[in-house]
Amino acid sequence: MQNHDFDRGILDKVGHRPWPMPGAPWVMRQSWHDLLFAHWPVDKVALAAKIPSSLELDLYDGEAWIGIVPFRMTNVSPRGVPSMPGVSAFPELNVRTYVRAGGRPGVYFFSLDAGSAIAVAAARTMFHLPYYLASIEIEEQGGGFRYRSRRSSEHGTGAELLVTYLPAGPVFHPAEGTLEYFLTERYCLYTIDKTSQPLRVDVHHPRWALQAAEATFERNTMADAVGIRLAVRAPLVHFARRQDAVAWLPARATP
């Protein structure tokens, strides 16, 4: 996989966005590859107790959802800085839910595990995000992927994931109003500052191109690490081959 193939043409594709891009320049670019979106419905009262009080849990038909998303990144670099071997490409694993602030829907991350100590330190400083260092291995296997992660950071509770997944259907763009759209078409993320005030990080990317997926979870304590129990049922799973994206610096989330 090339590490200098970022598609700058995404900056001209804005018709699908739910609100205009920020007027300030974006500051970070990245490409996401071979993503598994695995989602479980969870008790909304229990989940709401886990997010900051300054954020509102976003529901779909009255249900709350939590997602576990393993993937790998390339082209990770600040604006104007070329990708650097050994720094700009690494695996990542997110645990997330869906929230609103100031009327705008976005993502809230409970954890972001990454196989790069530099990325963990930078993201914690620049974006106020709960990044953790992890030992992550990805093996291509029979048209799919075997993904193993074990958190090694001194921060946070230990967490592990071992999952095998592969695409299992044609590519489609989720239609507005569907559950797939709700779970993936998000153009900002939220975190909080030291005074517990909400911060919004705007992001931009093209529409998601998804596929149905098959996934087998052999080990999964990612949600347990934040005190959330997943239902004993198969998750809703989707695969995405690639997404290029840019991000802005955090800004105070205003009504």
169 CB contacts (<8 Å, ≥6 apart)?
Answer: 211, 212, 213
Quote the tokens at residue 115: 């196989």
SS3 category, 13: coil
CB contact at 8 A, 4 and 84? no
Question: Picking from 51-55, 59-63, 152-156, which range would have the lowest pLDDT averaged per residue?
Answer: 152-156
- Checking if the pLDDT of 227 tops 60, the result is yes
Q: Answer whether 0.75 is exceeded by the pTM.
A: yes
| Cα atoms in the 13 Å half-sphere on the side-chain side of 175 | 2
Query: Who wins on pLDDT, 217 or 81?
Result: 217
46 three-state secondary structure: helix
Reduce the DSSP state of residue 231 to 3 states and report it: coil
Task: Using pLDDT thresholds of 50, 70 and 90, give the confidence band for residue 2.
Answer: very low
How deeply is 207 buried, as exposed, middle or buried, from its count of CB atoms within 10 A (0-12, 13-18, 19+)? middle
Residue 196 has pLDDT above 90, yes or no: no
Name the pLDDT band for 156 (thresholds 50, 70, 90): low
Please state, in angstroms and rounded to a whole number, the distance separating the CA atoms of residues 84 and 227: 37
3-class DSSP state of 71: strand
Q: Where are the alpha helices (DSSP H) in the chain?
A: 44-48, 117-127, 179-184
Lowest mean pLDDT among 11-20, 122-131, 145-154, 188-197: 122-131
pLDDT, tens only, 165-174: 999 999 999 9
What mean pLDDT value characterizes the chain?
93
Q: What pLDDT band is residue 17 in, cutting at 50, 70 and 90?
A: very high
Instruction: Kindly report, residue by residue over 233-244, the tens digit of the pLDDT.
Output: 899 999 999 999
d(CA 53, CA 57): 10
The terminus-to-terminus CA distance of the chain in angstroms comes to 41
List the domains of the chain with CATH numbers. Answer: 26-252 (2.40.400.10)
Residue 34 above 80 pLDDT? yes
Reading the block at residue 119, the tokens are: 């990325």
Distances (CA, A) of 46 to 43, 158, 172, 208: 5, 21, 33, 29
Average of pLDDT values for 107-120? 92
The answer on pLDDT for 176 being more than 70 is: yes
